[in-house]
Structure 1
Amino acid sequence: MKVEYINPFVMSSVDILKQVCNITVNKEKLFLKHGFAEIKDITITIGVIGDVKGNIVLGFDKGTAMSIASRMMGGFPVDELNEITASAVSEVCNMIAGQSGIHFSHQNTKIDITPPIMQINRPDAKMNYINQTICIPLTLDIGGTLELDISIA
């Protein structure tokens, strides 16, 4: 997988979380996922189509997702994962993917994205990573980590 396919998603994640939620992000060391691997409590999958194709999966633990939703809603306390919370977190992920499209356009690469699909996972849930998937853990200053899984060809 080319670095040109990874950087737009990482840059967009850092930018959107800072601009929209006032969250500072630190990138951790990336690693490959393959075979069966554990996934976070909440995953949001967005398809990528166009000049490059694949998926990005953004994974959060429940507490991190609720903190992001709270920031999206102007600091309103969030103590449960409900439809409004899910919508707020999905919208942040949609913004990240949309911003990535702008970064790709600067490389003369056209992409389109599918609507986000949120999945609430059971404890110890696993996903079978068949295609090469790069995971970039992003540590958030509000606590918790966003796992950004990129599988693009």
Structure 2
Amino acid sequence: MKNSIHNQLILDGTSNAIRTIIPLNMNIHPSFFMNEPYNQQEIGVLIGFIGDIRGRIIIDGLQSTFSQLAANMFGMPIEGEMLESFTGEFGNMLAGNICTYVGSQNINIDITPPTVMVGNTKLYGFEKACHLPVTIDGVGELTILFTIDDED
């Protein structure tokens, strides 16, 4: 029961966070659950949740999507190491906003440092993940996945 409540909190927090930090029109598509493995595209960031909710969030997309997102948010496109750094910081912003939302519901949650993943990667280690596709006007598509670890 707790996992379904926690899943909904993270999902609501994610929708709220993405609308808060991205100053563009977007379409947040319906979420769905998927089983492992997940095939990451070109670049992504993984951040862990710790505290009352334990799990992970992965934000995945094309390098061109993250570069265009940076251009819209900060006024200039970026590439290379700066793009990798931006991707990690974008993940921090999103996950931090999720923590603020979840914390407003009296649940203690924090995040781990981001792990940026570059290149096509097949991700394992979860039974079920919530998959949330987002299309950002003039930028491209992001995939947001989150998993909630089983309660002890």
- Name the structure 2 match of 1:133: 129
Q: Which amino acid aligns with 2:141?
A: T
TM-score (norm 1): 0.85
Shift of 1:143: 3.2
Q: List aligned pairs for 1:56-67, cutoff 5 A.
A: 56-67=57-68
When residues 27 and 129 of structure 1 are mapped into structure 2, their CA distance, relative to the original with a 3 A threshold, is farther
Task: Between 126-135 and 96-105, report the one with greater CA deviation.
Answer: 126-135
Gaps of 5+ in 1: none
- Name the structure 1 match of 2:119: 121
77, 84, 87: which one aligns with 2:85: 87
- Name the structure 1 match of 2:96: 98
Contact in 2 for aligned 1:34/1:128 (Cα 8 Å): no
Q: Which amino acid aligns with 2:77?
A: P
- Name the structure 2 match of 1:33: 34
Gaps of 5+ in 2: none
TM-score (norm 2): 0.86
Deviations along 1:68-116, one digit per CA (max 9) or x if unpaired, are: 1223432x233xx311122222212211111111111111001110111
Q: Is residue 145 of structure 2 the alignment partner of residue 149 of structure 1? A: yes
Aligned-CA RMSD value: 1.6
Q: Which amino acid aligns with 1:57?
A: I
2:84 & 2:70 partners in 1: Cα distance?
8
Task: Between 8-17 and 65-74, report the one with greater CA deviation.
Answer: 65-74
When residues 129 and 139 of structure 1 are mapped into structure 2, their CA distance, relative to the original with a 3 A threshold, is farther
Shift of 1:129: 5.2
When residues 115 and 63 of structure 1 are mapped into structure 2, their CA distance, relative to the original with a 3 A threshold, is same
